[in-house]
Amino acid sequence: MGKNFVVCDNRFKDILLDGSELEKLVSPAIWAEGPVWLPGADAVLFSDVKGNRIFRWSERDGLTLFRNPANYNNGNALDRQGRLVSCEHGRRCVSRTEKDGSITVLADKYDGKRLNSPNDLVVKSDGGIWFTDPPYGIIGDQEGYKSESQVIGCWVYRLDPESGELSIATTDVQRPNGLAFSPDESILYVADMSLVDFPTLGRRRITAYEVVEGKRLANARKLADITPGIPDGFRVDREGRIFTSSDDGIQVLAPDGTLLGKILVPERVSNCTFGGKNEDVLYITATTSLYRIRLTARGVQYTHLL
Ligand code: MG
């Protein structure tokens, strides 16, 4: 077992291959976030939120600029048709990049009020786009444009891309950030990092919600408090394990929240995504860099596109 791992539970060893080793790929960003795998291109896109650009990395082409400037883009995902859907701090919206390269704003207001700054998003198998709306793109000019909040809170929303209807999935959060479904989509996990803004009452928590009628969240249950640091983005694998960001690396949780172990990363981790032909390579964005590690664990995000 390499020095890059901390085993807290023997089940952690199940996710490691003999040769599993953390590899730093490139370090071009001020704050790297929002990794998404492009199955057709064998490439990863990731945002440099503070650098206001999106990078692309592939084994074949190395590092290239995908979008510059990028409206202070943050989280990225693919929809059911393989189109890029993104959270933009700059325009305070969720947008979709069409096959011809044009960009469509899908949602930027709720009840006539501008969203705060959509942060991260996930697409359900019915096409619904679920996203979080904390204020980090409007509290200063570092990763967006300083501005007042118009909506009364920082919620999790669901967007129906067919009808364009935007609905609140839950208000049971203060500073929602990363989010991901369980493999059967009966649970949505949501990170709440409100500890950063509210040191006394804030959370560093991943909460599990029941998905009701495919549209709303109910029956909140604490999955785990993440320490050191806070949970930002995270992903779920086919066994329902959670791979979450934290200050010391990627922490791997069992579906019941038990900490199985850690993949230590030398920079503060913001997010991760499974990629590669078998969805068995975890791509990790951490401060300035993109890392990867091959595992036995496999992701659930791109199965329908592979
Ligand atoms: Mg985030």
Indicate which CATH number applies to the domain containing 185: 2.120.10.30
Give residue 71 CA to ligand 1 midpoint distance, Å.
15
18 Cα: distance to centroid of ligand 1 (angstroms): 31
- H or E element in which residue 218 lies: strand 216-225
Confidence of residue 170 (pLDDT cuts 50, 70, 90): very high
Residue 288 lies in a domain: no
Is residue 300 predicted with pLDDT exceeding 70? yes
The model's confidence at residue 231, banded by pLDDT at 50, 70 and 90, is very high
Q: Name the band, by pLDDT with cuts 50, 70 and 90, for residue 1.
A: low
Please indicate, yes or no, if residue 266 is contained in any of the structural domains. Answer: no
3-state DSSP assignment of residue 104: strand
* Full residue range of the structural domain in which residue 62 is found: 37-243
Residue 286 lies in a domain: no
**Is 254 a domain residue?**
no
Query: pLDDT band at 161, cuts 50/70/90?
Result: confident
pTM greater than the 0.85 cutoff: yes
For residue 11, what are the contacts with CB-CB under 8 A and spacing of at least 6? 254, 260
Residue 293 CA to ligand 1 center (angstroms) comes to 20
Identify whether 279 is part of a domain: no
pLDDT tens for each residue of 4-19: 999 999 999 999 999 8
Q: Which residues line ion ligand 1, judged by CB < 5 Å?
A: 119-120, 177, 232-233
DSSP string, 61-77: TEEEEEESS-TTEEEEE
Position 306 scores a pLDDT of 60
Q: Find the mean pLDDT for residues 57-84.
A: 97
Let me know if residue 281 belongs to a domain.
no
The answer to whether residue 237 sits within a structural domain is yes
In a domain, 102, yes or no: yes
- Distance in angstroms (rounded) separating the CA atoms of residues 263 and 293: 9
Mean pLDDT of 68-91: 97
The 10s digit of each residue's pLDDT in 172-219 is 999 999 999 999 999 999 999 999 999 999 999 999 999 999 999 999
Average pLDDT, the chain: 96
Domain count, the chain: 1
Mean pLDDT of 291-305: 89
Cα 119 to ligand 1 centre (Å): 5
